[in-house]
Homo-oligomer: A and B are copies of this chain.
């Protein structure tokens, strides 16, 4: 039989092969299988990491055609269209700026930089480069979040009074947990703040609007940790971050990110209260959206648990029949599908580098408020 007409390819070079590298690779592998109608085919061209045998192995296992150890060679490769920046935060800026200058499209992990200055330089470089960009705030593409967004835009929640966000994890609550790179300010930029706080900042910006001012606090409960060789190493980032904030339109926000909440593995939970109703989402039950409709008849009002797996739910529809749930990895597949469509249509990809920069301004304000003990305008 005749093969189906091939689509034009978008060739990706992925820098980094750890947790995010694996999640992105999966998305690239799967996106054209689930989204039949995309304008481009993803071609998994090159994966790049510093350790030859490891990156070689990653390429084979994750499905990449080529393996590379120097990211500059990936950027120089004219065959490659998109540079996916999935390294630790301390190299994001350098790679992104170089890639943008080389005329590549950049898709970057979050938070985009380790500092606001880096983020500004990155956003400027990308803007100068003139290509679309994407930032991997994947939770926007959980079907429940996308559906919440649609409901809010349709006015179903009315005027928003409260945004209440907690991203709780517990992987370092035990003081005996060893030092890792994510606990080093130079490498990671910040701790819970940037790693997970940035996600709930993004969800707030996405669903509610811009943050206008905040009062925030950072805390390190365990200041040093076992270094693996009998000694101790200093923790130079925050273990937990809390803030109160105001948002456009007068919304009050409380935001919290912590790695010290035993029992909460990946409890990214947000609640939005508006004049016409409320919405609740928790990433640990990401296939569900809780919705309270203040317009329901008296005596029949209550939060509904919507199983967001139906044909009416945009980012769930490509997968399985109603009630057959999807997982964490599908948020990345959806994000990449959306990025591909935006590449073709010219519609602005959201979240992009500009979103990444605005996010970083909130992180920066949080750090400055922590130092000054003052409310900080954003």
Residues of A within 8 A of B (CB): 1-4, 19, 23, 25-26, 29-30, 32-33, 36, 52, 56-57, 60-63, 67, 147, 151, 161-162, 164, 166, 168-171, 173-175, 215-217, 219, 221, 239-240, 242-244, 246, 250, 252-254, 256, 258, 260-267, 271, 273-278, 283-289, 291-294, 296, 298-307, 309-310, 312-313, 319-330, 373-375
Contacts and interface: CB of A to CB of B under 8 A. Distances in A.
Nearest to A294: B262
B250 A278 contact: no
18 contacts: A1-B67, A161-B260, A162-B256, A164-B166, A171-B322, A215-B244, A216-B244, A242-B244, A242-B253, A244-B244, A254-B256, A262-B277, A265-B309, A266-B322, A286-B325, A300-B304, A326-B329, A373-B375
Contact of A164 (B4, B174, B256, B321): B256
Contact of A276 (B26, B262, B274): B262
Nearest to A271: B261
Copies of this chain, how many? 4
Q: Rank and list the top 4 A-B pairs by shortest CB-CB distance, nearest first.
A: A265-B323, A266-B323, A263-B292, A299-B312
A66 to B, nearest CB: 8
Nearest to A253: B242
A325 B296 CA distance: 21
Contacts of A322: 171, 265-266
Contacts of A278: 261-264
Contact of A302 (B169, B273, B283, B307): B307
Contacts of A169: 323
